[in-house]
């Protein structure tokens, strides 16, 4: 009887791990911009409803684990005529965090769901107002197995405009 319970427990554990793996590997939707290019190449401007961003993606190019974390800012603007409420911000991987700065107020850091609670943001961006989403990527987070080309996504959920996706990419070397 104990062997049967142990076997069922192992199967459930494996299914959960596989499910998390599949969710973690989900890429951006078909409408999300992803640009991969030379070192420091930014993608095209993106607009999702009333919320626009100066670039939808950024490629760090070749980066070394030994050199530590890298960061990139994304300028966001409310181009609409009414306020936009940013309800949640989260990332596609535990190696990536994001913070939202609106004036003197900083929200976050926000990480990956399943690796700690993702709190509600509830930050209001007034018409014409700008903010900045700072994305920090730690190339050493996955250890030696984390070398190669990676793409990570930051999801910015709003009440009014749906979800805006910002992506970063890099080629990680030891």
Residue 102, domain CATH: 2.60.40.10
Residue 13 within any structural domain of the chain? no
Fill in the DSSP letter of residue 92. S
Q: Residue 68 class from Cβ within 10 Å (0-12 exposed, 13-18 middle, 19+ buried)?
A: exposed
Predicted confidence band of residue 12 (pLDDT cuts 50, 70, 90): low
Q: Residue 144 class from Cβ within 10 Å (0-12 exposed, 13-18 middle, 19+ buried)?
A: exposed
Residue 11 within any structural domain of the chain? no
Residues 6+ apart with CB under 8 A from 129: 77, 78, 102
pLDDT tens-digit map of 27-73: 333 333 322 223 344 555 554 458 899 999 999 999 999 999 999 99
Residue 20 within any structural domain of the chain? no
pTM of the model as a whole: 0.72
Number of domains, the chain:
1
Residue 46 has which token pair?
Answer: 């993106």
pLDDT > 90 fraction of the chain, expressed in percent and rounded: 63
pLDDT tens-digit map of 102-147: 999 999 999 999 877 778 899 999 999 999 999 999 999 999 999 9
Residue 3 within any structural domain of the chain? no
Residue 125 within any structural domain of the chain? yes
Rounded to whole angstroms, how far apart are CA atoms 51 and 110? 19
pLDDT of residue 34: 27
Residue 15 within any structural domain of the chain? no
Domain containing 79 equals 29-173
């Amino acid at each position: 009887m104990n062997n049967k319970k142990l076997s069922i427990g192992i199967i459930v554990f494996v299914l959960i791990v596989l499910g998390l793996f599949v969710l973690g590997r989900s890429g951006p939707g078909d409408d999300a911009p992803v640009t991969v290019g030379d070192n420091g190449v930014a993608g095209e401007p993106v607009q999702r409803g009333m919320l626009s961003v100066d670039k939808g993606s950024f490629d760090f190019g070749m980066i070394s684990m030994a050199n530590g974390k890298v960061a990139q800012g994304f300028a966001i603007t409310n181009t609409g005529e009414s306020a936009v409420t940013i309800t949640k911000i989260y990332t596609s991987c535990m190696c990536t965090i994001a913070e939202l700065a609106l004036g003197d107020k900083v929200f976050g850091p926000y990480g990956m769901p399943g690796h700690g609670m993702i709190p509600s943001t509830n930050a209001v961006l007034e018409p014409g107002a700008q903010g900045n989403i700072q994305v920090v990527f730690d190339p050493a987070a996955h250890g030696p197995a984390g070398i190669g080309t990676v793409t990570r996504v930051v999801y910015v959920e709003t009440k009014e405009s749906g979800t805006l996706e910002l992506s970063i990419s890099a080629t990680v070397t030891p």
